[in-house]
Amino acid sequence: MLDILFFIVIGALLGIVVGFIPGFSSNNLSMLVITYGLISSDYHLAVTAVAIEISSSFFEFLSPMIFGIGNDATALAADVAYSGITEESFKRSVSIVISGGLIGILVAMPLIFFAEKVYPTVYSSLKPLVAWILSFLCVYMAWIERTWKKKFFATTVFILSGMMGLLIKNSGLISSNYLLLPVFIGLYGFSSILSKRHGKEELIQDITFVEKARSTAIAFIASMFASLIPGMKRGQASAVALQIGGAIKREEVLFILPLVSLAFATLSIFILGSTGRVRSSLTYDIQEVVGNPYFSQTVLFAGSVAITACISSVILIFVAKPIGKLLSKINERYLKIFGFLIAATLVINFTGFYGALVAFTATCIGLLSSRFGIRSVHLMGVLLLPSIISSVIL
């Protein structure tokens, strides 16, 4: 038991580093650990992979909140939190992220007992409806923009970003490991840095119990939905949650994103255990080292998720104060320039000229959404339009 705890702590600490470095995914590190046989026991390896994934899922929200650089699951946090950083506002953002993540794990946990029975039935009934459900959500999201002009702009931005998604998906232009890096750095990172969506006066506020309850229900439904459907990942799950949510406060967005991310990670383990289906990079790693886990092993992984979440939350609370204090002292303009330089370096280093081209186009589309004054969730067309078309074809 102590050995398991030891590897959970190791994984949690590694996850902090992975989560904080923009562009580095937990899967990259887990694959390094697996490939080079750094941990000899299969179970220790799997537990470490779980801890890396869960811990990095918490800490990867720091990068968009500080530098404005996020990935498919966190980019929208850059949009809502990366502006007018004060110590208090930053601490509040972090505490919303922590509560979202912990609730995500909590609501997903009971599914461990029902996954085997529920998933095959729900999967077969949902599969033919996926394209319709996603299309409906996209139309609904454009529809709730207030004026006809904005409805038109929202549709335009959705189509432009969707076209970009369709063009680059399976194109061979950029390695699939880094495919979404220039896309999300452009759509949400660069565009947030270059435009200012929110002023200093719009600081992050607390969210009420009712808002939390509503957001939890929305995010859980979206995570369940996405975890069932092939090709849907946590990025799509976040987009679906925000579309179901409609016109929600940005604090709720900040609550929903980690909730979806952590619930999706937890549910993907249960799906692997109950159906043998690989639904995330984490479950791919688990299957690589231990095969399809038995129920007792799934329980062990669920326990690892819970313990890692607690460790990560405590560390995140602990570091939020000094980081917030530091950020409030740094000139926002310098922070933006620094964020821009990091993001540009990442894009050019990992994806080369074509990545830079994609990032440039994505930045223009991201800027359009800001200039049109519409919700940035329409930019998620980059993931949703290809998903809709794949669902129709399959």
Which stretches of the chain bind another protein, using CB under 8 A?
31, 160, 163-164, 167-168, 170-177, 179, 278, 284, 287-288, 354, 357-358, 360-361, 364-365, 367-368, 371-372
Q: DSSP 3-state assignment of 205?
A: coil
Whole-number Å distance between alpha carbons of 65 and 72: 14
Which CB sits closer to another protein, 101 or 186? 186
Smallest distance from the beta carbon of 379 to another protein, in angstroms? 12
Closer CB to another protein, 172 or 318, in the complex = 172
Question: Are 182 and 355 within 8 A, CB to CB?
Answer: yes
> Closest approach of Cβ 368 to another protein, in Å?
6
Closer to another protein by Cβ: residue 275 or 287: 287
Q: Residue 299 CB, nearest distance to another protein (Å)? A: 24
CA distances in angstroms from 155 to 148, 149, 162, listed in the order given: 11, 10, 10
Is the Cβ–Cβ distance between 86 and 328 less than 8 Å? yes
For residue 354, the one-letter residue type is: Y
Q: Which of 160, 147, 215 is nearest to 191 (CA)?
A: 160
- Closer to another protein by CB, 165 or 324: give it: 165
CB of 363 to another protein, least distance (A): 9
The residue (of 195 and 328) whose beta carbon lies closer to another protein is 195
Q: Which is nearer to another protein, 212 or 279 (CB)?
A: 279
How far apart are CB 118 and another protein at their closest, in Å? 23
In whole angstroms, what is the distance from residue 256 CA to residue 355 CA? 29
Sign of the torsion angle spanned by Cα atoms 143, 144, 145, 148: positive
Query: The tokens of 60 are what?
Result: 């990867």
- Minimum distance between the CB of residue 13 and another protein, rounded to whole angstroms? 26
Closer residue to another protein (CB): 232 or 262: 232
Q: CB-wise, 90 or 153, nearer to another protein?
A: 153
Contact 12, 311 (CB under 8 A): yes
Q: How far is the CB of 257 from another protein (least distance, A)?
A: 25
Find out whether 112 and 268 touch, Cβ atoms under 8 Å. Answer: no
Residue (of 254, 245, 224) closest to 81 by Cα position: 254
Query: What's the one-letter identity of residue 321?
Result: K
Contact yes or no for 259/104 (Cβ under 8 A): yes
What are the start-end ranges of the H helices in 67-147?
Answer: 75-81, 87-108, 115-126, 130-143
The residue behind tokens 């929903």 is 256
Rounded to the nearest whole angstrom, what is the least distance from the CB of residue 192 to another protein in the complex? 15
